[in-house]
Chains A and B, each alone.
Chain A
Amino acid sequence: MFANVFTKTLRDQRRSLLGWSIGVALTVVIMAAIWPSFSGMDLTAFLAQYPEAMKEAFNISEMTTGAGYLNAELFSRMLPAIFIIFAVARGARLVAGEEEDGTLEMLATMPVARRRILFEKSAALAVGVGVLAVVLFISTWVSALVFGLDVPVLHVLNGALAMFFIGLEFGLVALALSAGTGRRGLATGLSAGLAGASYLLYLIGQLVDGLRPFRVLSPFYQAISEGPLGPTLPPIAWTMVAVGLGAVAVSVPAFERRDLAV
């Protein structure tokens, strides 16, 4: 557990990861448990009153299938938000939090390069978000079976992967800001703001024709445009991983050079 920065960082997030895992699993199970009564209702009249664009924006028209229901209720907003909040909070803390606590000073005077510290912490963050995604995958797959939502396992896998990617992207951005500036508040706020702006871009892109071409820039579009519970995860989803890793790479020189806070 104390072999290196990676394992130490993993160890540090074990409790919060346990809490978030329980939260994710409970959310999924509860939403799936509602499905049988939900699917029994006749929604045609209800859905008819929504404008077409809204239906598309919120995937409302697909709520007649189990996958569509989960996509609309969980995988379009709530789960991305959960993954982003978890990852951003962890990422922002990994460097700047240690700096605030004063523990980074010793770590940064061990014979380990700062960039190595950053990479190991990035890897630990990825594993943390990954564990949450595995929990999501298992709980979705099992509760879909139990409550008869009829979602193929591959579709569940794509959905969990999409959530992993979107969490990872914003988490790594937060970590990069955390390492580059040493300010946890700034790293958290800016990353959360970026996530909010991305969601808005996606939403408005669905509703306003003029912005349609730009929604592809939004990680939300990249993550959920094909479901995300669906037969494929679009190749553009990998952009999220690339942007996250890119942000960390860009922050390396800043972290290497800057003065650490007392």
Chain B
Amino acid sequence: MDGAVIETRGLSKRYARTTALDALDLQVPPGTVFGYLGPNGAGKSTTIRMLMGLIRPTAGTATVLGYEIVRERQAIHRVVGYLPGDFNAYRDLTGQQYLTYLSNLRGDVAPAEISLLAKRFELDLGRRIGTLSHGNRQKVGIIQACMHRPQVLILDEPTSGLDPLMQHEFLDLVREFRNAGRTVFLSSHVLTEVEAVADLVGIIRGGHLVMTADVADVKSRARRRVDLTFVDGVELPIVELTRVPSVRDLDVVDGTVQLVVEGSMAELLRVAAPFGVERVVSNEVDLEDVFLQYYEGEDR
């Protein structure tokens, strides 16, 4: 397939008082996982809901697999698997009934695919959706998005409510989709999730696309604060640590070395280990911070 699978040009959504999305230009190449990152209210869901034809852009346009989002909405619905940020299914139906209903509306779902996915995510399809936990309800949402093996997956905060094991399983599923040449557009405010699975990342804040980048590249430049506690009686290897190229802002508080590492921690750990490290606490840097650093870095 040539060209971008998802392409937006000046895509905007303005309301009377606010601009939810301001002239978004975005390209998602085929066969990639695109992580759409940003804090709550940044415009992630607005973008996704426009791609799905649920709301109309006030300016600009976009295509998904070449289909225009307003005129060819129904074609997009056929080829895309969608999981809303706030997934709601009929509470009085069982998972099986609900998925059967959506399958019938789609018309191209293999029933075996549903049971396969349910088994994989350990979901009891016989239970009423209203009695399911938030995480299990989210699994129903994930299954309906994937059950017709769509060319494109558009997922809004897909892992919310999933326990870590299921998050892992889900991210595996996303990779499988990608490895099969399909495209995944996934919004999130969790950096680790995007780090784990995305090839490309787009950062959005206040309705503006701040940047898009290669995830590997961002990772190599992310800073995190690390606390190193050494075994009692050892003289702190301050000089050695300061010499590590990736270490910044070293400080000692109550016998614990606090420092900032940019990029990989490998070198730091190699140097520190021989001195008897008792405990390493790695603080995830706030998502926005990481990308702001990156952003500012680009500016300089």
Query: Which residues of A are in contact with B by a Cβ distance under 8 Å?
Result: 1-5, 8, 101-103, 105-113, 257, 259-260, 262
For the complex, give the distance between the alpha carbons of A5 and B101 in Å.
Answer: 9
Does B77 reach chain A (CB closer than 8 Å)?
yes
Residues in A neighbouring B80, C-beta threshold 8 A: 109
A2-B104, A103-B88 are contacts. A257–B49 as well, Cβ < 8 Å?
no
* A contact residues around B97 at 8 Å (CB): 1-2
* Docked CA distance A55–B77 (Å): 60
Q: Sorted from nearest, which 4 A-B pairs have the closest CB atoms?
A: A102-B88, A2-B101, A259-B55, A111-B78
B80 to chain A, nearest CB (A): 8
| Whole-angstrom distance between the Cβ of A24 and the nearest chain B Cβ | 24
Question: Could you show 23 A-B contacts with beta carbons less than 8 Å apart?
Answer: A1-B97, A2-B97, A5-B105, A101-B88, A102-B86, A102-B87, A105-B88, A106-B84, A106-B88, A106-B89, A108-B54, A109-B53, A109-B84, A110-B77, A110-B102, A111-B105, A111-B107, A112-B77, A113-B74, A257-B56, A260-B54, A260-B55, A262-B49
Contact present for B104 and A111 (CB under 8 Å): no
On chain A, the residues within 8 Å of B104 by CB distance are 2-4
* Of the residues B49, B87, B107, contact of A106 by C-beta under 8 Å: B87
Chain A CB within 10 A, most for which of B52, B77, B97, B105:
B105
Q: Are A103 and B105 within 8 A (Cβ)?
A: no
Give every chain B residue within 8 A of A259 (Cβ-Cβ). Answer: 54-56
Whether a CB of chain A sits under 8 angstroms from the CB of B19 is: no
Range of interface residues on chain B?
Answer: 20 to 34
Residues from chain A with a CB closer than 8 A to the CB of B107 are: 111
Q: Say whether B105 contacts A112, CB under 8 Å.
A: yes
| B97 (CB) vs chain A CBs: closest residue | A2
Task: Judge if B100 is at the interface, Cβ distance under 8 Å.
Answer: yes
Nearest CB in chain B: distance from A210 CB, A: 45
Partner of B54, one of A105, A111, A112, A113: A105
Q: Which of B54, B55, B102, B144 has the most CB of A within 10 A?
A: B54
A74 to B67, CA, bound (A): 56
Chain A residue with the shortest CB-CB distance to B107: A111
Chain B contacts of A257 at CB under 8 A?
A: 56
Contact with A along B9-34 (1 / 0, CB 8 A): 00000000000000000000000000
B219 contacts the other chain (Cβ, under 8 Å)?
Answer: no
| Measured CA separation A8–B89 after assembly (Å) | 13
Can you name the residue of chain A whose Cβ is closest to the Cβ of B90? Answer: A103
